[in-house]
């Protein structure tokens, strides 16, 4: 054998070692971080949700992100039986990817597993805190779910509860089994996750036959991968990489940025000071500069499509002179307006967050406030943001970003505004009552009840609202898929078509 | 030799032990993993359950006792984030880093030693000037910049190689290429300097006077003697790579131990941090032994 033959053989081997050709109906999705687990009860984490939710693991109900309505999924219908009990009627003939048939015992096990203290599932911690849920099997296709205290939105809560077979052990699984249209066929840690379409899926067959998930931390690399055809969708790219109108989409990502004011400490306990802070911010100046121009100025803790969001509410116009006048008035009444206020920002919370915080610092200073800016990592930030506060009590404005894409303010308002709320900076009896009333209200009265709570929080100038944010996705031109508000937490392969 | 290895093992073991103690307690100073693992809306009850489940409520010294007791049984604990044995997670990542480091350092060493030796043979010549110019640029250019430029030019622009990932042989070209540049520049300069000194020595002049060919003079007589400081630098650069090339791993989506360590530190996944440090420390210990053996092989005066 001569050198030439060896060389040619080597080149041929290298070429053959290339990737197998993908089918026209396969897609590749590149996420911004690797999945640490594929446990269905952790699907409330964005990237786990993007892989598992409604692809592998389905829920009894499903939220329609466009109008906030609730749609059937594994449950065909549900009814309020009173006293906190809701009855769910399951779809007949649903099978898991392991071949077993879905019945009420699976639902019961899924609920108990998700809420088990032995697992500390994020879905349990995030959506079911402070309540006891008791599932009772009525028959194979009927289950009663009782909550204590009663939850008028229990069917909505069930849109977060991923269903697994009753045989799933009480530990995190590495082989998720679900009723969804796809099954996980490979998980190569550090490299990829592969889902294949199930031929025996109970619902309509989706167009995508196979999905490969890749993981790249670098924003520019993810954008480049779609540009070169290595990937078809990058759900999250940086604003500065979103340069191609044919492939790059801005979408409301259900995140609201704001400054949480600690109104228990002077001078923030004075409403004039809080109003002045709101007047000192030139929100318009941020749009199209440090914040994407598609972002919306926020007037609520939740996005405008949330139940009860009042379109008539507004934030004060930029008026630094008016802010100064309010501060003078407060000072004349003995309020210590010269006290240093800590402006705490969270590093990496959203693109340009440091620059936004520096600009805010400048605006507050111009309006006469004594503000000290500090940018910190999440571990330090949480000491100021979430109770019990580990940090020393100081007058503070904590920059935060809140995500509520579940359509109901209950996932926001108690935590952010009730006296006992973990991240609440305010304590007001009227607001507490309004939140409690809205939480307990069912039916048509729920929207107005929440509107009232929003209005009270607004009138108290409880926070400095900034923006309802947008995310940017890059989608290959070969796909017919437009990212929506849901893309922040899930990416249903069945919604992807091909051009 | 056996006594040398025993001494090195004992001294490395003591260092490792001190490292474990320091990292265990220092990492705990960063705070409670509960804050990062559970959503900020999680109830106090859920947080308490989490702490209890992972033994975070125990006094620190008790946690350390449990850790050491498990370690004796070669149980490195479980990754909180991944719900898997920490050692398994680390080994998985370390295999990638090890391959990347070995391939890169093999190419770097071969290229830097041969080109550095040739540059030293004609000091001030065109080849020497070009080699010195590019090696200095390579040694001083930042990795992240080279990586991004390489992706833009070779993956997006020319489409010759994939942007990132690990699927095929082609995926290795950019990460290795980027990792190659800095140690290549550095080692080439060390080889050049060491060779200039060796080529000026009496035994090389004697060899030349006896009519030994330039090739044999460089690669047999001078290079062997010039290699001792070079091996030290190669070992140093290899140790840096075994610790993980964080920037390259992050940009190219390479699932190595460097990125794993940084992620685990940020996530307060203490078991993984400790396991990663122990595995890389062990690898560096073994590599140092190999370097010592290489000294002995190159210089007959060195005996253990």
Q: Is residue B78 part of a domain?
A: no
B164 CA: distance to closest CA in chain A (Å): 8
CA distance A360 to chain B (A): 24
B132 and B54 within one domain: no
| pLDDT for the residue numbered A304 | 87
Question: Collapsing DSSP states into helix, strand and coil, what is residue A138?
Answer: strand
Decide if B225 is inside a domain: yes
Residue B79, domain member (yes or no) = no
Give me the pLDDT at residue B304, please: 67
The alpha-carbon gap from B29 to the nearest alpha carbon of chain A, in Å, equals 11
Residues of chain A with Cβ-Cβ distance to B170 below 8 Å are 14, 18
B95 and B56 assigned to the same domain: no
Question: A221 and B151 in contact by Cβ < 8 A?
Answer: yes
> Residue A228 is nearest to which of B163, B250, B251, comparing CB atoms?
B163
Task: Give domain A24-32+181-250+473-498's CATH superfamily.
Answer: Periplasmic binding protein-like II (3.40.190.10)
- Residues B278, B135, single domain; the answer is yes
* Structural domain contains residue B77: no
Provide the CATH topology of domain A57-160: Dipeptide-binding Protein; domain 1 (3.90.76)
Question: Vertex A492, ends A31 and A104: CA angle to 5°?
Answer: 120
Q: Are residues B35 and B131 in the same domain?
A: no
Does one domain contain both B244 and B132?
yes
For chains A and B, what is the number of CB pairs under 8 angstroms? 124
Do B36 and B161 fall within a single domain?
no
Chain B: closest CA distance from residue A476 (Å): 15
**Does one domain contain both B100 and B216?**
yes
Residues of chain A with confidence (pLDDT) below 50: 1, 7, 11-20
Q: Could you report the per-residue pLDDT of B20-59, keeping only the tens digit for each?
A: 899 899 988 887 888 778 777 777 777 888 888 888 888 9
| Same domain assignment for residues B156 and B55 | no
Which chain B residues contact residue A385 at CB under 8 A? Answer: 40
**Are the beta carbons of B237 and B184 closer than 8 angstroms?**
no
Looking at the structure, give the CATH architecture of the domain made up of residues A255-469.
Answer: Roll (3.10)
Name beta bridge partners: B96: none
Q: Length of chain A, please? A: 499
pLDDT at A87: 98
Give the residue ranges of DSSP H helices in chain B.
2-28, 33-37, 44-53, 60-72, 86-121, 126-140, 143-150, 173-199, 202-209, 214-216, 223-242, 246-251, 257-267, 270-298
The chain B residue lying nearest A13, using CA atoms, is B169
Which residues in chain B are closer than 8 Å to A14, comparing Cβ atoms?
Answer: 169-170
Is B236 found in the same domain as B163? yes
User: What CATH number should be reported for the domain holding residue B143?
Assistant: 1.10.3720.10
Residue spans of the domains in chain A: they are 24-32+181-250+473-498, 57-160, 255-469
Q: How many CB atoms lie within 10 A of CB A478?
A: 11
Taking CA atoms, what residue in A is nearest to B246? A217
What is the pLDDT confidence band of residue B217, given thresholds at 50, 70 and 90? confident
Contact between A399 and A343 (Cβ < 8 Å): yes
Q: Are residues B55 and B94 in the same domain?
A: no
**Mean pLDDT of the region B119-128:** 86
Q: Which residue of A has its CA nearest to B38?
A: A122
Domain range holding B59? 2-72
- Res A10: pLDDT: 52
Same domain, B166 and B280: yes
Angle between helix B2-28 and helix B60-72 axes, rounded to 10 deg: 150
Considering the domain architecture, whether residues B277 and B140 belong to the same structural domain is answered as: yes
Inspect the interface and report whether the beta carbons of B42 and A129 lie closer than 8 Å: yes
Give the gap in angstroms from C-alpha A423 to the nearest C-alpha of chain B.
8
Residue A222: C-alpha distances to residues A228, B141, B192 (Å): 10, 24, 40
So what's the pLDDT on residue A21?
54
Range B134-159 average pLDDT: 89
- pLDDT score, position A17: 46
d(CA B246, CA B237): 14
Indicate whether this complex's ipTM tops 0.95: no
User: pLDDT tens, A112-155?
Assistant: 999 998 887 889 888 887 789 999 999 999 999 999 989 999 99
Q: What is the pLDDT averaged over residues B10-14?
A: 86
Task: State whether B268 and A379 contact (CB < 8 Å).
Answer: yes
**Is B82 or B187 the better-scoring residue by pLDDT?**
B187
CA distances from B157 to A477, A492, B154, B164 (A): 19, 32, 6, 14
Q: Select the more confidently predicted residue: B243 or A482.
A: A482
The per-residue pLDDT for range B79-90, each reduced to its tens digit, is 988 888 999 999
**CB distance B40–A17 less than 8 Å?**
no
Q: What is the mean pLDDT of residues B271-290?
A: 90
All residues of chain A having their beta carbon less than 8 Å from the beta carbon of residue B41 are 125-126, 129, 411, 415, 422-423
- Chain A interface, mutation test: which of B78, B172, B253, most A Cβ atoms within 10 Å? B253
**Which B-chain residues 37-56 have CB contacts (< 8 A) with chain A?**
37-43, 45-46, 49-50, 52-53
Q: Is residue B82 part of a domain?
A: no
Q: For residue A214, give the nearest of B92, B93, B165 by CB distance.
A: B165
For B:12-31, CB contacts with A below 8 A are: 30-31
Contact A36 B170 (CB under 8 A): no
Per-residue pLDDT at A5: 56
State chain B's mean pLDDT as an integer. 88
User: Is the separation of the CB atoms in B273 and B29 below 8 Å?
Assistant: no
Q: What does the angle CA A45 – CA A49 – CA A53 come to, to the nearest 5 degrees?
A: 145
Mean pLDDT of B113-140: 86
- Residue where a domain stops, chosen among B28, B45, B72: B72
For residue B253, being part of any structural domain is answered with: yes
Q: How many domains does chain B have?
A: 2
């Amino acid at each position: 054998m001569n050198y030439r033959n060896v060389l040619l053989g080597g080149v041929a081997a290298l070429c053959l070692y290339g990737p197998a050709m993908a089918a026209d109906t396969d897609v590749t999705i590149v996420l911004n971080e690797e999945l640490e687990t594929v446990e269905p009860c952790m699907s409330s984490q964005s990237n786990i949700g993007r892989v598992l939710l409604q692809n592998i693991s389905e829920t009894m109900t499903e939220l329609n992100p466009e109008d906030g309505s609730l749609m059937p999924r594994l449950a065909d219908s549900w009814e309020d039986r009173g006293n906190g009990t809701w009855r769910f009627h399951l779809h007949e003939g649903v099978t898991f990817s392991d071949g077993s048939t879905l019945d009420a015992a699976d639902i019961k096990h899924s609920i108990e597993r998700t809420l088990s203290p032995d697992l500390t599932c994020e879905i349990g911690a995030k959506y079911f805190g402070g309540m006891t849920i008791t599932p009772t099997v009525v028959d194979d296709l009927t289950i009663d779910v009782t909550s204590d205290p009663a939850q008028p939105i229990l069917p909505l809560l069930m849109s977060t509860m991923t269903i697994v077979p009753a045989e799933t052990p009480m530990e995190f699984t590495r082989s998720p089994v679900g009723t969804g249209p796809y099954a996980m066929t490979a998980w190569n840690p550090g490299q990829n996750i592969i889902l294949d379409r199930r031929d025996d899926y109970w619902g309509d067959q989706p167009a995508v036959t196979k999905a490969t998930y890749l993981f790249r931390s670098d924003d520019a690399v993810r954008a480049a991968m779609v540009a070169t055809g290595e990937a078809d969708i990058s759900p999250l790219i940086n604003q500065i990489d979103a340069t191609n109108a044919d492939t790059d989409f801005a979408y409301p990502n259900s995140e609201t940025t704001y400054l949480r004011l600690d109104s228990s400490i002077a001078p923030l306990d004075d409403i004039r000071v809080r109003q002045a802070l709101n007047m000192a911010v030139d929100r318009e100046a941020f749009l199209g500069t440090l914040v994407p121009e598609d972002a919306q100025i926020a007037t609520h803790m939740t996005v405008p499509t949330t139940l009860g969001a009042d379109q008539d509410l507004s934030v004060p116009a930029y008026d630094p002179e008016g802010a100064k006048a309010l501060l003078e008035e407060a000072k004349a009444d003995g309020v210590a307006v010269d006290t240093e206020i800590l402006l705490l920002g969270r590093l990496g919370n959203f693109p340009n967050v440091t620059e936004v915080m520096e600009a805010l610092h400048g605006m507050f200073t111009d309006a006469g406030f004594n503000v000290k800016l500090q940018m910190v990592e999440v571990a330090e930030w949480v000491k100021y943001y979430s109770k019990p506060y580990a940090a020393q009590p100081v007058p503070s404005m904590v920059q935060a970003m809140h995500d509520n894409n579940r359509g109901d303010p209950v996932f926001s308002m108690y935590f952010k505004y009730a006296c006992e709320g973990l991240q609440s900076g305010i304590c007001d009896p009227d607001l507490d009552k309004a939140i409690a009333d809205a939480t307990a209200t069912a039916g048509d009265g729920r929207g107005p009840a929440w509107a009232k709570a929003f209005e009270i929080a607004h009138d108290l100038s409880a926070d400095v609202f900034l923006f309802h944010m947008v995310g940017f996705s890059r989608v290959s031109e070969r796909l017919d898929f437009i990212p929506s508000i849901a893309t922040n937490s899930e990416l249903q392969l069945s919604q992807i078509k091909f051009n | 030799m056996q006594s040398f290895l025993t001494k090195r093992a004992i001294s490395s073991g003591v260092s490792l032990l001190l490292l474990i103690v320091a990292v265990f307690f220092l990492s705990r100073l960063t705070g409670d993993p509960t804050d990062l693992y559970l959503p900020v809306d999680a109830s106090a009850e859920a947080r308490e359950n989490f702490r209890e489940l992972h033994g975070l409520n125990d006094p620190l010294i008790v946690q350390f006792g449990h850790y050491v007791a498990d370690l004796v049984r070669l149980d490195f604990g479980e990754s909180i984030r991944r719900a898997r044995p920490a050692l398994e997670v680390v080994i998985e990542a370390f295999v990638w880093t090890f391959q990347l480091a070995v391939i890169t350092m093999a190419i770097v060493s071969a290229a830097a030693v041969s080109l550095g030796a040739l540059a030293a043979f004609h000091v001030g010549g065109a080849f020497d000037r070009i080699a010195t110019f590019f090696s200095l640029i390579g040694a001083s250019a930042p990795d992240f910049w080279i990586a991004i430029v390489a992706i833009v030019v070779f993956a997006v622009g020319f489409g010759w190689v994939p942007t990132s990932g690990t699927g095929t042989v082609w995926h290795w070209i950019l990460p290795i290429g980027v990792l190659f540049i800095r140690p290549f520049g550095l080692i080439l300069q060390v080889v050049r300097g060491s060779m200039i000194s060796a080529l000026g020595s009496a035994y090389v002049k004697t060899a030349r006077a006896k009519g030994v060919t330039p090739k044999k003079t460089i690669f047999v007589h001078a290079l062997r003697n010039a290699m001792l400081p070079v091996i030290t630098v190669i070992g140093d650069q290899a140790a840096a790579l075994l610790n993980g090339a964080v920037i390259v791993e992050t940009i190219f989506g390479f699932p190595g131990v460097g990125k794993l360590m940084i992620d685990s530190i940020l996530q307060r996944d203490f078991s993984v941090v400790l396991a990663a440090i122990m595995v890389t420390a062990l690898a560096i210990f073994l590599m140092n032994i190999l370097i010592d053996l290489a000294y002995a092989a190159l210089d007959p005066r060195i005996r253990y």
